[in-house]
Amino acid sequence: MVVLLKMLLPDLHVDTIYDIDLDKLKEKGIKGIITDLDNTLIEWDRPEATPELIEWLQKIDQKGLKVVVVSNNNEQRVSAFAEPLKIPFIHAARKPFNRAFKQAQRDMQLSPHEVVVVGDQLFTDVLGGNRLDLFTILVIPVAQNDGFFTRFNRKLERIALSAMRKRGMITWER
């Protein structure tokens, strides 16, 4: 049980993507960001980026960091968001399986220690990143409502987070 919980434990937990210290990531040698889309960058039912998100993505670019959106959602949803911003993306990623994470890493031409995974779910984003020994950052979902499958994952997350809290593995609330 403890081994599974460790695989679900993010390296860092922040409230939002805007709380990620990009300079500290660069100091750690991070050169690329694999980010989830729905409820990480924007609400799962919002079609396009907010002005605040566009500004954050520009900061990433100004700091010389690469970014790839990796989403379990379909091509239509992910491309409608990513293409206007000229952000590379991988849809139907099947996270937490390795394929999409490895593909994003290859596309950025970076090694595992140079990549961070940012997402709002333990069982997809964090587990997927941790399985490949990537630095993982868990954010609080930007929307309080979810799609059908995500609602199921959230129930499992609450159980895992409770077990982690009882074992002293985490101190933050979610």
Q: Is 85 within the bounds of a domain?
A: yes
Q: What is the pLDDT of residue 147?
A: 62
Averaged over 18-43, what is the pLDDT?
Answer: 97
Q: Is 174 within the bounds of a domain?
A: no
Average per-residue pLDDT for the chain: 93
Q: Is 171 within the bounds of a domain?
A: no
Q: What is the dihedral of CA 107, 108, 114, 118, to 10 degrees?
A: -80
pLDDT of 104 higher than 90? yes
How would you list the strands of the sheet with 115-119, edge to edge? 12-14, 135-139, 115-119, 32-35, 66-70, 89-90
Q: What is the pLDDT of residue 145?
A: 66
- Can you say whether residue 128 is alpha, beta or left, with left for phi > 0 and alpha for psi between -120 and 50 degrees? alpha
Domain with residue 142: its CATH number is 3.40.50.1000
Q: Is 109 within the bounds of a domain?
A: yes
Q: Does residue 100 or residue 44 have the better pLDDT?
A: 100
Domain count, the chain: 1
Q: Is 75 within the bounds of a domain?
A: yes
Residue 73 identity (one-letter amino acid):
N
pLDDT digits (tens, 9 = 90+) for 40-51: 999 988 889 999
Averaged over 161-173, what is the pLDDT?
Answer: 87
Q: Is 172 within the bounds of a domain?
A: no
Q: Domain range holding 42?
A: 2-166
Q: Is 91 within the bounds of a domain?
A: yes
Q: Please provide the DSSP assignment of 41-100 as one string.
A: TB-TT--S--HHHHHHHHHHHHTT-EEEEE-SS-HHHHHHHHHHHT--EE-S--TTSHHH
Q: Is 173 within the bounds of a domain?
A: no
Averaged over 85-108, what is the pLDDT?
Answer: 98
- Name the one residue in this structure whose structure tokens are 């520009």: 58
